[in-house]
Amino acid sequence: MEGGKDFRFGIAVIALALTVVVCLGGYHLYKEYGIKKPLTESLLQVDGVQEVEIKEEKDSQVILLTLKNGADLKTVFQDANQLALEKMSNKPYSIEVKDNPSPDLTSLYDDLELGIHQGIANSSFIWLAEWIDKKTAAEETEYRVQVDDQNLYLTLSKDDHYLTRIIKRDNQAENEGRDISDA
């Protein structure tokens, strides 16, 4: 009799383990082929996107975009965000733009950061563009500043290096439940 109980208990443990493996495998396949692959394929169709990487951090998907040379940061971001909103339903995500900054560009951005936030706070975007123009001319650095109702988009470039930043215009940490950031 004891041997029969052990046998049934052993079969129950094996059945439970197989069920867990099948469920986890199914969930992984769903995330890979039901979310990541279709989203990646859609994002690669956005004009200006060169590469897409999607990774999971905590309970959120991080979408890392590599842009083609000369891509319009604002347009690419807006198009990618719209696609992500459609494909991700109510799942949290963030979009980051991969850049290739040099120490000089990082230092220049650090010097510009306070003025950028002042320009955003005051909605003084013409002043901000003129101020950035003066600061970057001294460093022989090209720049592009773009604005929409939610973000300020900044690209600094010098030689083969570039730095991109997407800076929120308001104090909210989230955009319709999603975190938007840069790499």
What are the E-state strand segments in the chain? 49-57, 60-67, 93-98, 142-147, 151-158, 161-168, 179-180
Average confidence score pLDDT of the chain:
85
C-beta neighbour count of 31 within 10 angstroms? 15
Q: Where are the domains of the chain?
A: 2-97, 103-175
| Averaged pLDDT, 54-80 | 91
Phi/psi for 22 (5° steps) reads -65, -45
pLDDT tens for residues 10-40? 788 888 888 887 777 776 666 666 678 888 8
Say if residues 100 and 160 touch (Cβ distance below 8 Å): yes
Answer CATH for 2-97 from 3.30.43.10, 3.30.70.1350, 3.40.50.720, 3.40.50.300:
3.30.70.1350
Closest CA to 154 of 120, 122, 104: 120
Measured CA to CA, the distance from residue 119 to residue 156 in angstroms comes to 17
Give the pLDDT confidence of 110-143 residue by residue, as tens digits: 999 999 999 999 999 999 999 999 999 988 999 9
Residue 164: strand, helix, or coil: strand
Per DSSP, the three-state class of 152 is: strand
Calculate mean pLDDT across residues 159-166.
94
Q: In what order do the strands lie in the sheet with 151-158?
A: 142-147, 151-158, 161-168
Query: Which amino acid is present at 129?
Result: A
pLDDT at position 58: 83
The residues facing 66 across adjacent strands are 51, 98
Find where tokens 């995330």 sit. Answer: 31
Residue 176 clears pLDDT 50, i.e. is over it: no
What is the total residue count of the chain?
183
